[in-house]
């Protein structure tokens, strides 16, 4: 489903060039729950962003279902990000001035589709945040906020869920709950690629890779 | 209406943006209203310095002219109309006059007839510089009135005819103090010079002359319209008038752009603050598929709304200030200070545009970053 070949990403840091990704080859099949592990700064998030169409690599290819991601037009790339990929971040990135219901519908809105309040409620119920639909993110607990960001992704039912340390800010109980939702999504046929430091997701993973200095080791 | 929800959430920043636009519009309204009032006032005050042009017959002996204070030669009164019909752009407040020096009660006095028809070139109506005198009445200069104890309402005889004193004039400190003023037609018949005048008094506005020598331009124009006349300019009045007007114009030309620049920087600062506060929002919106245009629209709708609200408030405040304090400053042209609703239209059109342009750079600077770059910051 996702095929990465010879991926390289260089960043300019002052006068120096830093190699964030160094000749990465990786294949991810549909329905996998892949964990990417490694120390801070090893390139895990950079790899995730490249897979999500958020960061153009310096060299190499990212193919999604056989199609080269970075040869797509801006419009097609946006469509990929709103329709095929879903992002869950450590910092949730909810819009503070929108209600929970509006935040959940946000990504789906980019597709121009009609938002059914029943679907929003159903997804919110599944994540136990249905009682919070009219609240603002600032009124939610940390765990609830992460569940709202998950709900935002689940609204579009993407092919692939890209999660960048989604449990990094959560207590063990909430972390376990979020992982359970990711697992549920994977069990229903979705593909999960998750970047993490810890071992809490190991039980759900179908595969793990470890990175160091921009390489898979 | 996502942007309205954001405004509600970040009220203080929006309020500060509105204040920036409001200040810009209010200052613009105050400056434009006050500039107009100041220009009117300056025009009026400098005009009240007196006529600065004298058009006399070509053959006038200038020695005699300066000694006597007028030309002994005459020209047809219809010359005034000729000047008007020719649309002579450098002349305003054209007034036909006739002067005659006589001995009255053993002293030399000047008789001056003034046409009540002050003519203007073009359609624009101007307030009159001269006073109309009824045919059977006369105005008496200060020295004459003082010497002979003449009072308003007295009857006096001049060249065998009786006139009622309409007014005795205050001290002018010039030869006006030994002058009798008449209706032009009356004086013409009194001295047997019907249809003749010896001077056209006029005001040169200096607004249309280009180059360093306005008198040359005036003479060139006069050469074509009335070749048998010449123009004498009272340079001290004309130059002070011109300098004063130019000074007022350049003062406002300098101040207004500075004020607008400060307001633009203020609005840009507020937009930058807003864009910085919303970096992560920009990042996530772009990550989930919002186009740059759509994200930019969220910012520009906000700026446009701040522009519209700021324009309305600024217009009200600017007019309130102008109408409250303008009359204390511009006492002569107080009636010309009023709300100009065309300015409201321009403000509503330009203020949102101004706010959008001011916020353009900070907004585009944030939006043009790669979403990954923003989202990786945490």
Q: Are A191 and A160 in contact (CB under 8 A)?
A: yes
For A99, nearest residue in chain B (alpha carbons): B5
Sign of torsion over alpha carbons A115, A119, A125, A128? negative
Q: Is residue A1 scored above 90 in pLDDT?
A: no
Q: Are A165 and A90 in contact (CB under 8 A)?
A: yes
Q: Which residues of chain A does B6 touch, with a Cβ-Cβ cutoff of 8 Å?
A: 95, 97
Number of CB pairs < 8 Å for A and B? 65
pLDDT tens-digit readout, A102-142: 999 999 988 887 888 999 999 999 999 999 999 999 999 99
Lowest mean pLDDT, pick from A171-175, B151-155, B194-198, B274-278 = B274-278
What pLDDT was estimated at residue B239?
67
Give dist(CA A47, CA A57) in Å, integer.
9
Q: Are B184 and B115 in contact (CB under 8 A)?
A: yes
Q: Is residue A176 scored above 50 in pLDDT?
A: yes
What average pLDDT does this structure show over A51-79? 92
What pLDDT was estimated at residue B88?
64
For the ranges A44-48, B85-89, B220-224, B370-374, the maximum mean pLDDT occurs at A44-48
Q: Buried (b) or exposed (e) across B60-78, using 16+ Cβ within 10 A? A: beeeebeeebbbbbbbebe
Q: Do B370 and A97 touch (CB under 8 A)?
A: no
Joined together, the tokens standing for residue B373 give 């770059």
Q: Grade residue B132 by pLDDT with cuts at 50, 70 and 90.
A: confident
Query: Domain containing A116 — which CATH number?
Result: 3.40.50.300
Of B43, B97, B101, nearest in space to B75 by CA:
B97
For B295, nearest residue in chain A (alpha carbons): A110
Joined together, the tokens standing for residue B371 give 């979403």
Share of chain B above pLDDT 90, in %: 33
CA atoms within 13 A on the CB side of B247: 9
Q: Which residues of chain A does B285 touch, with a Cβ-Cβ cutoff of 8 Å?
A: 106
Least CB-CB distance to B376: which of A45, A56, A74?
A45
Q: Grade residue B127 by pLDDT with cuts at 50, 70 and 90.
A: low
Lowest mean pLDDT, pick from A87-101, A103-117, A198-212 = A103-117
What average pLDDT does this structure show over B92-96? 81
Q: Which residues of chain A does B378 touch, with a Cβ-Cβ cutoff of 8 Å?
A: 89-91
What pLDDT was estimated at residue A28?
94
Least CB-CB distance to A97: which of B6, B283, B376?
B6
Give the residue with greater pLDDT, B219 vs B148. Answer: B148
Lowest mean pLDDT, pick from A140-144, A149-153, B181-185, B211-215 = B211-215
Q: Which residues of chain B does A97 touch, with a Cβ-Cβ cutoff of 8 Å?
A: 5-6, 8-10
Give dist(CA B196, CA B138) in Å, integer.
20
What average pLDDT does this structure show over A74-89? 91
Q: Do A152 and B10 touch (CB under 8 A)?
A: no
> Is B146 part of the contact surface with chain A (CB cutoff 8 Å)?
no
pLDDT tens-digit readout, B300-326: 999 899 999 999 999 999 999 988 888
Q: Which residues of chain A does B372 touch, with a Cβ-Cβ cutoff of 8 Å?
A: 46, 49, 54-55
Q: Is residue B100 scored above 50 in pLDDT?
A: yes
A-contacting residues in B 267-286 (Cβ below 8 Å) = 280-281, 283-285
| E strand spans, chain B | 53-57, 75-76, 92-104, 107-114, 137-140, 155-158, 161-168, 179-183, 196-197, 199-203, 229-233
What pLDDT was estimated at residue B237?
64
In angstroms, the first-to-last Cα distance of chain A is 22
- With tokens 């060139």, the residue in question is B220
Least CB-CB distance to A110: which of B8, B289, B375?
B289
Give CA separation, A106 vs A15, A198, B48, B290, in Å. 40, 30, 70, 10
For B8, nearest residue in chain A (alpha carbons): A97
CA atoms within 13 A on the CB side of B203: 25
Q: How far is A32 from chain B (nearest CA, A)?
A: 22
Name the residue range of residue A127's domain. Answer: 30-54+81-210
The angle subtended at Cα B11 by Cα B5 and Cα B13, nearest 5°, is: 115
Q: Are B354 and B269 in contact (CB under 8 A)?
A: no
What pLDDT was estimated at residue B27?
85
Q: Which residues of chain A does B280 touch, with a Cβ-Cβ cutoff of 8 Å?
A: 91, 93
Q: Grade residue B327 by pLDDT with cuts at 50, 70 and 90.
A: confident
Q: How far is B307 from chain A (nearest CA, A)?
A: 22
Q: Buried (b) or exposed (e) across B108-137, using 16+ Cβ within 10 A? A: ebbbbbbbbebbebeeeeeeebbeebeeee
What pLDDT was estimated at residue B48?
62
Share of chain A above pLDDT 70, in %: 100
Joined together, the tokens standing for residue A21 give 């990704």
As a whole number, the mean pLDDT across chain B is 83
Q: Grade residue B202 by pLDDT with cuts at 50, 70 and 90.
A: confident
For the ranges A14-23, B46-55, B203-212, the maximum mean pLDDT occurs at A14-23
Least CB-CB distance to A78: which of B8, B291, B370?
B291
Q: How far is A86 from chain B (nearest CA, A)?
A: 7
Q: Do B372 and A82 touch (CB under 8 A)?
A: no
Task: Provide the number of structural domains found in chain A.
Answer: 1
Least CB-CB distance to B287: which of A46, A81, A98?
A81
Give CA separation, A141 vs A138, B7, B133, B352, in Å. 8, 24, 91, 39
What pLDDT was estimated at residue B238?
63
Domain layout of chain B by residue ranges: 2-44+243-375, 53-233
Q: Determine which of A21, A96, A112, A169 to mutate to test the interface with B (most B C-beta atoms within 10 Å).
A: A96
Q: Is residue B206 scored above 70 in pLDDT?
A: no
Q: Do A89 and B289 touch (CB under 8 A)?
A: no
Of B196, B195, B200, nearest in space to B230 by CA:
B200
Q: Determine which of A78, A90, A91, A165 to mutate to test the interface with B (most B C-beta atoms within 10 Å).
A: A78
What pLDDT was estimated at residue B208?
47
Give dist(CA A214, CA A212) in Å, integer.
5
Give CA separation, B196 vs A65, B97, B100, B189, B345, in Å. 104, 9, 12, 10, 52
Q: Do A106 and B288 touch (CB under 8 A)?
A: yes
Of B15, B13, B29, nearest in space to B315 by CA:
B29
Least CB-CB distance to A82: which of B289, B370, B371?
B289
Give dist(CA B103, CA B236) in Å, integer.
31
Give dist(CA B342, CA A90) in Å, integer.
54
Least CB-CB distance to B287: which of A45, A54, A98?
A54
How high is the ipTM of this complex? 0.89
Least CB-CB distance to A110: which of B6, B283, B288?
B288
Q: How far is B266 from chain A (nearest CA, A)?
A: 25
What pLDDT was estimated at residue B119?
62
pLDDT tens-digit readout, B252-265: 778 778 877 887 78
Is the residue at A85 inside a domain?
A: yes
What pLDDT was estimated at residue B308?
94
Which pTM was predicted?
Answer: 0.67
What average pLDDT does this structure show over B212-231? 80
Least CB-CB distance to A90: which of B6, B290, B378?
B378
Q: Do B9 and A96 touch (CB under 8 A)?
A: yes
Residue A87 carries which DSSP code? Answer: E
What average pLDDT does this structure show over A36-47? 91
pLDDT tens-digit readout, B236-253: 666 666 677 777 777 777
What pLDDT was estimated at residue B121?
59
Lowest mean pLDDT, pick from A86-90, B6-10, B131-135, B283-287 = B131-135
Q: Is residue B13 scored above 50 in pLDDT?
A: yes
Is the residue at A192 inside a domain?
A: yes
Length of chain B: 378
Q: Which residues of chain A does B289 touch, with a Cβ-Cβ cutoff of 8 Å?
A: 78-79, 81-83, 107, 110-111
């Amino acid at each position: 489903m996702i095929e990465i070949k010879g991926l390289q990403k260089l960043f300019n840091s002052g006068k120096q060039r830093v190699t964030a990704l160094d000749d990465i080859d990786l294949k991810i099949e549909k329905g996998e729950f892949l964990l990417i592990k490694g120390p801070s700064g090893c390139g895990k998030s950079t790899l995730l962003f490249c897979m999500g169409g958020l960061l153009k690599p310096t060299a190499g290819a990212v193919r999604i279902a056989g199609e080269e991601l970075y040869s797509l037009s801006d419009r097609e790339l946006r469509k990929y990000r709103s329709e095929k990929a879903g992002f869950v971040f450590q910092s949730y990135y909810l819009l503070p001035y929108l209600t929970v219901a509006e935040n959940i519908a946000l990504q789906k809105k980019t597709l121009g589709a009609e938002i059914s309040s029943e679907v929003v409620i159903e997804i919110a119920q599944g994540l136990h945040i249905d009682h919070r639909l009219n609240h603002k993110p600032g009124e939610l607990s940390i765990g609830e906020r992460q569940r709202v960001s998950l709900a935002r992704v689940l609204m579009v039912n993407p092919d692939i869920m890209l999660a960048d340390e989604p449990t990094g800010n959560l207590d063990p109980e909430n972390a376990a709950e979020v992982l359970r939702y990711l697992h549920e999504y994977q069990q229903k046929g979705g593909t999960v690629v998750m970047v993490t430091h810890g071992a809490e997701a190991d039980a759900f993973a179908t595969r793990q890779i470890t990175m160091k200095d921009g390489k898979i080791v | 209406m996502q942007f309205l929800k954001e405004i509600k959430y970040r009220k203080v920043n929006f309020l500060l943006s509105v204040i920036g636009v409001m200040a810009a519009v209010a200052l613009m309204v105050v400056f434009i209203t006050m500039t107009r009032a100041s220009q009117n006032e300056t025009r009026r005050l400098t005009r009240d310095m007196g006529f600065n042009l004298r058009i006399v017959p070509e053959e006038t002996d200038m020695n005699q002219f300066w000694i006597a204070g007028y030309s002994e030669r005459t020209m047809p009164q219809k010359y005034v109309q000729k000047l008007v019909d020719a649309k002579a752009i450098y002349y305003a407040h054209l007034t036909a006059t006739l002067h005659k020096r006589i001995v009255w009660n053993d002293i030399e006095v000047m008789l001056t007839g003034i046409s009540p028809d002050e003519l203007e070139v073009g359609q624009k109506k101007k307030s009159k510089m001269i006073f109309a005198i009824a045919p059977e009445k006369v105005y008496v200069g200060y020295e004459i009135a003082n010497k002979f104890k003449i009072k308003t309402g007295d009857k006096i005889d001049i060249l065998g005819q009786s006139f009622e004193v309409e007014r005795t004039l205050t001290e002018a400190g010039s030869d006006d103090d030994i002058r009798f003023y008449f209706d032009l037609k009356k004086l013409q018949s009194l001295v047997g010079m019907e249809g003749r005048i010896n001077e056209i008094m006029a005001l040169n506005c200096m607004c249309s002359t280009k180059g360093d020598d306005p008198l040359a331009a005036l003479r060139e124009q006069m050469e074509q319209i009335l070749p048998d006349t010449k123009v004498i300019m009272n340079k001290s009045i004309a130059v002070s008038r011109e300098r004063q007007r130019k000074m007022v114009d350049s003062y406002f030309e300098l101040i207004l752009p500075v004020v607008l620049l400060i307001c633009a920087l203020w609005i840009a600062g507020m937009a930058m603050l807003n864009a910085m506060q919303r970096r992560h929002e920009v990042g996530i919106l772009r990550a989930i598929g919002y186009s740059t245009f759509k994200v930019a629209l969220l910012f520009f709708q906000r700026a446009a709304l701040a522009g519209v609200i700021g324009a309305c408030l600024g217009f009200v405040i600017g007019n309130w200030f102008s109408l409250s304090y303008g009359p204390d400053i511009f006492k002569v042209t107080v009636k010309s200070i009023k709300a100009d609703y065309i300015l409201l239209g321009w403000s509503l059109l330009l203020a949102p545009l101004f706010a959008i342009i001011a916020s353009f750079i900070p907004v585009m600077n944030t939006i043009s970053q790669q979403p990954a770059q923003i989202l990786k910051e945490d």
